Structure 1
Amino acid sequence: MIIRYLKQEEKIESKALWGKVFDEDSQSFMDYYYSDRVRRNKILTAWDGERLAAMLHRNPYDVVIRDRLWKTDYIAGVATDPEYRHQGYMRRLLLRCFSDMYAERMGFSFLVPADPAIYRPFDYTYICDLPSQELNEKGLSQLSRRALVEQSAESREAARFAGRLLEQSYEVYALRDEGYYRDLCREVRSDKGDLILLYTRDEKEELAGIWAYYGEMAENKRELICLPDYVKETGPKKPAVMGRIIHLEQFVSVICLKEDCPVDEMELLLEVKDGFIPQNAGIYRWKLDRKGSVLARVSADAGLKPHLSMGIGELTSWLFGYGEPPVPEESMALAERIRLLNGVFFDEIT
């Protein structure tokens, strides 16, 4: 088994495996993906001699995480040729991927699982539930619709609108800019969909929403970011996106103390278990203040009992504000002083 990244001119060789594994994707969508997304991504592959056996795609995003902007990989195109399944190919690819992302000091990565059971053993955990929403009667009747023109100021307008709206409710989301909406426009139109800007029907004619969908009949929603007056909930939020801390020390730099914490600084002992990125595993002295935090490794021989001990998946879920941590009762007061990330929104699928 040979593990390596494809050179730019080789990437097209992986298209046949994509079509074989993701046979629900249309030819036009694959053409879009391989002419657009693949220009900027990294494709890690596993080979059996001259035959491509498995691959994963590292698609880069600029991600807002509180007051910072991080380069973060969305893991996509995870595929193994049916003849090579259950032989350890995907494990080898993920281990290499983790090692490379750690070397790049990437705080975390994220993905949309076809089956979460595939990724849980590698410590991916849900970090984001997406709302089930559609336009309400007011949105359907009182908003005018205009298809986005790619090469225009409309992409900038859409990006500013979405950025303002997401900032009000979320602390973690993919940065919207002109390029983001030009890409999204090409993505949905590659599969007979469209990206529609929704405007108020008044003198100001202000942008009130962004609606992207697949299919001529808008049967598959891709994105709906809209002023709350014009949307309705159609069901409970659904788990959508899984994430994993990659570089632990980088990630915790955005975790801080709560504003109402009775102390300006705090220190505790944290034990982290990570069977796939050994650099993360160990006992740390975790120092937090109101701006962020740092980790300092402590020798296991010191005989110190950690206040908190958890696997990297449990830590990921907790720090993203998604799940409850396994905190012993005597350490609960310390844990409750920590300001977790508040609100995660990822609706990307490529």
Structure 2
Amino acid sequence: MEIRKLGQQEHQDSRRLYEEVFEEDSASFVDYYYTEKTRDNQIYVVEADGGIRSMLHLNPYRLYVNGSGKDVNYIVAVATQKEYRKRGYMSALLKTSLNDMYQAGESFTFLMPASESIYAPFDFRTVYEQNRRFYRSEDEEAADIVITDAKDEDCRELAGWANQRLAERYQVFAIRDEAYYQRLIREYECEGGSLKIYRRDGQIVDCRGCYPNEDNERPKIMVRIVDVRRMLMALRLRSLTGVCFCVTDPLIRENNRCLVVTGTEFSGVMLMDGKEENSEGTITVAALASLIFGAGSVEDVCREEGVEMSQRMKEELGKWIPLSGICLNEAV
């Protein structure tokens, strides 16, 4: 058994496993995925008995996080051939890719789980339910709205409109550019759909997908902190704070450390290495993700296994402003 990252010219070699495991995906979608998305992604595989038996894809996104741009990977297409399951292949791929992402300087990663219980043991936490808005034929009845199918020449304008709108509403979202919307148009088209632009007096006011058979499911998004220090530096504060605590992470050794978090509502977070004898508590990397992304309160995470906090630490962590304004509606 060997774990390795495929070279760009080898990406198509993973298609057979994709089609075998994700048989519900249409041939046209798989064509789209292996034409568009594998052009710039990373594919980790387990090879055994002369073939690819397990894989994990990292699809790159540029995310807006509290006003800054961050390179973040979306974990997708996690798959193992049926005959090779229960051998720890997925676990090995996750550990390898997470540590590589740490070395690359990434703050966190995210995925859409087939089941939350699969990824919770690897310290992923659910932080968002996707909320996609779809075109309805009755939208055409609005007297002052003109709805058209998006074309490549619309993509730059769409990106500018979307980034401004999203930044007004959210703390975390995928930054749009011309290529983002060109890919999204292809994604809808491969399933017989389209991307609709809504205009009022010539100005974009909305953008929605149109699928022949869209469903009302709201897939969940889970995040996993990759670099604790980089993640903490993305936070903003309500007021002056100063606290020393330890973080535990069973998968990324470098995250196991004692930290001093200080700062104000004006300066943001400042970090220093702390001494364990000065620590006011311990928090797991999973509980920290829940707290940072607003999925749990300080009191919630205090009840988790492996978390201990002094009363003062609880009060200081309560001064953190969580990244709860999330919009991550991407499919792949």
**Does structure 2 conserve the Cα–Cα contact (< 8 Å) formed by 1:129 and 1:239?**
yes
Pairwise CA distance, 1:70: 0.7
1:43 counterpart letter in structure 2: I
- Is 2:167 aligned against 1:173? no
Aligned-pair Cα RMSD in Å: 2.0
Matched with 1:313 is 286
Q: How many residue pairs were aligned?
A: 320
**One of 277, 280, 292 as aligned partner of 2:255:** 280
**Consecutive unaligned residues in structure 2, runs of 5 or more:** 303-308
**One of 223, 227, 244 as aligned partner of 1:269:** 244
Matched with 1:208 is 205
TM-score, normalised on structure 2?
0.90
Matched with 2:189 is 189
Q: What does residue range 138-149 of structure 1 map to in structure 2 within 5 Å? A: 139-142=139-142, 143-149=145-151
Instruction: Supply the distance in 1 between the matched residues of 2:31 and 2:137 (Cα, whole angstroms).
Output: 37
The CA deviation string for residues 301-330 of structure 1, in whole angstroms up to 9 with x for no partner, is xx2342x42211110111112222334544
Larger deviation: 321-330 or 162-171? 321-330
Instruction: Supply the distance in 2 between the matched residues of 1:63 and 1:20 (Cα, whole angstroms).
Output: 31
Q: 1:169 to 1:182 in 2, by over 3 A?
A: same
Q: What does residue range 117-266 of structure 1 map to in structure 2 within 5 Å? A: 117-131=117-131, 133=133, 139-142=139-142, 143-150=145-152, 152=153, 154-200=154-200, 204-214=201-211, 217=212, 219-220=213-214, 240-258=220-238, 261=239, 263=240, 266=241
**Does structure 2 conserve the Cα–Cα contact (< 8 Å) formed by 1:125 and 1:242?**
yes
Instruction: Supply the distance in 1 between the matched residues of 2:279 and 2:71 (Cα, whole angstroms).
Output: 35
**Does structure 1 conserve the Cα–Cα contact (< 8 Å) formed by 2:133 and 2:209?**
no
Task: Give the SS at the match of 2:56.
Answer: strand
Percent identical among aligned pairs is 29
Larger deviation: 290-299 or 173-182? 290-299
**Consecutive unaligned residues in structure 1, runs of 5 or more:** 222-233
**Does structure 1 conserve the Cα–Cα contact (< 8 Å) formed by 2:258 and 2:279?**
no
Larger deviation: 123-132 or 64-73? 123-132
Matched with 1:304 is 278
**Does structure 2 conserve the Cα–Cα contact (< 8 Å) formed by 1:58 and 1:76?**
yes
The structure with more strand, counted as a fraction of residues: 1
**Does structure 2 conserve the Cα–Cα contact (< 8 Å) formed by 1:126 and 1:239?**
no
TM-score, normalised on structure 1?
0.86
